[in-house]
Amino acid sequence: MTGDAGEALISLEISGGYTGQITRLELRRDGAARVQVGGRTLTGRVDPEQVDGLLGDLESVPAEPLPAEPAAAEPVTARQGPSGAAPKSPATAPGSMGAADLRSYQVHFGGRTLTADDASVPRDLSEPLRRLEELVRAVQLDAARGRDQKP
Amino acid sequence: MTSFDEGGETVVGNREQVASLCNFVPPYVQRVVAQHAEGDDAAERRLNDNARKRRTAALKECAATEDEPAVSRAALPTTGTSRREVYDSGNTDQQRVKLIRAEGGPETDDTDALNAYDNAGIVRKFYSEVLDRVSIDDRGMDLILNVHYGAKFNNAFWDGDEMTFGDGDGVIFSGFARSLDVVAHELAHGVTQFTSALVYSKESGALNEHYSDVFGTTITQWSDGSSPAHSDWLIGDEIMGPDLYGEALRSMAHPGTAYDNPIMGKDPQPAHYDNRYKGTADNGGVHINSGIPNRAFYLAAMEMGDTVEAARIWYHALHFLPVDATFVQAAAQIATSARILVKSGAATKGAAQIVRDAWRTVGVITP
CB atoms near residue B239 (< 10 Å): 26
Contact list, A95 vs chain B (CB under 8 Å): 72, 76, 160-161, 193
Looking at beta carbons, which residues of chain B come within 8 Å of A81?
A: 80, 83, 85, 102, 142
Supply the DSSP string of A91-142, one letter for each residue: GG-TTGGG-BS-EEEEEEETTEEEEEETT---HHHHHHHHHHHHHHHHHHHH
CA distance B363 to B116: 37
Q: Do residue B249 and residue A20 have CB atoms under 8 angstroms apart? A: yes
Measured between CA atoms, the residue of chain A closest to residue B183 is A18
- Mutate: best of A101, A133, A140, partner B, most B CBs <10 A: A101
For each successive 10 residues of chain B (367 residues), what is the average pLDDT?
Answer: 32 30 41 44 37 40 40 57 96 94 94 97 98 94 96 93 94 93 97 96 97 98 97 96 90 97 92 96 95 98 98 98 98 98 95 98 94
- As a whole number of angstroms, the distance between CA B249 and CA B264 comes to 10
Report DSSP letters for B293-317, one per residue.
Answer: HHHHHHHHHHHHT-HHHHHHHHHHH
Nearest to B158 among A79, A89, A99 (CB): A99
Q: Which of B342, B349, B336 is nearest to B359 (CA)?
A: B336
Q: Tell me the residue type at B88.
A: D
Is the CB of A118 less than 8 angstroms away from the CB of B157?
yes
The closest CB to that of A78, out of B162, B262, B267, belongs to B162
Residues of chain B contacting residue A85, judged by C-beta atoms under 8 Å apart: 96, 99
Which residues touch A105 (CB under 8 Å, ≥6 apart)? A12, A13, A14, A114, A115, A116, A117, A121, A129
**Cβ-based neighbours of B162, under 8 Å, separated by 6 or more:** A78, A93, B95, B144, B145, B146
Mutation pick from A11, A12, A21 vs chain B, by most beta carbons of B within 10 Å, is A21
CA distance A61 to chain B (A): 18
| Alpha-carbon distances, residue A63 vs A90, A124, A132 (angstroms) | 22, 11, 20
| Residue B38 vs residues B41, B44, B48, B308: alpha-carbon distances, Å | 8, 10, 16, 20
Q: How many interchain CB pairs under 8 A, A with B?
A: 181
Closest residue in A to B84 (Cα) is A81
User: What residues in A contact B101, CB-CB < 8 Å?
Assistant: none
A78 vs B296, residue with greater confidence? B296
CB B116, CB B183: distance < 8 Å:
yes
Q: Lowest mean pLDDT: which of A50-54, A116-120, B96-100, B109-113? A: A116-120
Dihedral sign for Cα B172, B175, B181, B182, please. positive
- Round to whole Å and give the CA distance between A8 and A2: 10
CA–CA dist A102, B12 (Å, integer): 42
Q: Which one, of B187, B175, B185, lies nearest residue B239 by Cα?
A: B175
Distance of CA B161 to the CA centre of its chain: 15
Higher pLDDT, A102 or A1: A102
What's the full length of chain A, in residues? Answer: 151
Contact B125, B183 (CB under 8 A): no
Span B115-147, pLDDT tens digits: 999 999 999 999 999 999 999 999 999 999 999
Query: Which burial class, exposed, middle or buried, applies to B317 when counting CB atoms under 10 A from its CB (0-12, 13-18, 19+)?
Result: buried
Confidence of residue A6 (pLDDT cuts 50, 70, 90): low
Q: Residue A120 has what pLDDT?
A: 83
Q: Does residue B186 have an active-site annotation?
A: yes
**In this structure, what is the dihedral angle of CA atoms A13, A17, A18, A20, given to the nearest 10 degrees?**
40
Nearest to A78 among B144, B164, B243 (CB): B144
Residue B187 with chain A: CB contacts under 8 Å:
none
Nearest to A96 among B80, B159, B169 (CB): B159
Are A98 and B160 a contacting pair at CB < 8 A? yes
Average pLDDT over chain A, rounded to an integer: 79
- DSSP character at residue B52: H
Please tell me the pTM assigned to this model. 0.82
- Residue B247 known to be catalytic: no
- Across the interface, do A20 and B158 touch by the CB < 8 Å criterion? no
Query: What ipTM does the predicted assembly reach?
Result: 0.81
**Contact check, Cβ <8 Å, A78/B161:** yes
Residue B49: predicted pLDDT: 41
User: What's the gap in Å between the CA of A101 and the closest CA on chain B?
Assistant: 5
Using pLDDT thresholds of 50, 70 and 90, give the confidence band for residue A7: confident
CA distance A80 to B82: 12
Nearest to A144 among B141, B159, B263 (CB): B263
Number of Cβ within a 10 Å radius of residue B91: 15
Q: For A2-11, A108-117, B239-248, B262-271, which range has the lowest pLDDT when averaged over its residues?
A: A2-11
* Residue B276 distance to chain A (closest CA, Å): 15
Our CA-based measurement puts residue B142 at a distance from the nearest CA of chain A, in whole angstroms, of 6
Angle, CA of B150, B152 and B153, to the nearest 5°:
55
Q: Can you spell out the DSSP letters for B103-159?
A: TT----S-HHHHHHHHHHHHHHHHHHHHH---STTSS---EEEEEEESSS---EEE-
For residue A12, the cross-strand partners are: A25, A107
The residue of B157, B181, B209, B323 whose CB has the most chain A CBs within 10 angstroms, and thus the best one to mutate to test that interface, is B157
Q: Is B332 exposed, middle or buried (0-12, 13-18, 19+ CB in 10 A)?
A: middle
Residue A116 has pLDDT above 80, yes or no: yes
Q: What is the pLDDT of residues A21-47, one digit of tens each?
A: 999 999 999 999 999 999 999 999 999
Relative orientation angle of helices B202-224 and B111-131, to the nearest 10 degrees: 100
Give the Cα separation of B196 and B320 in Å (integer). 7
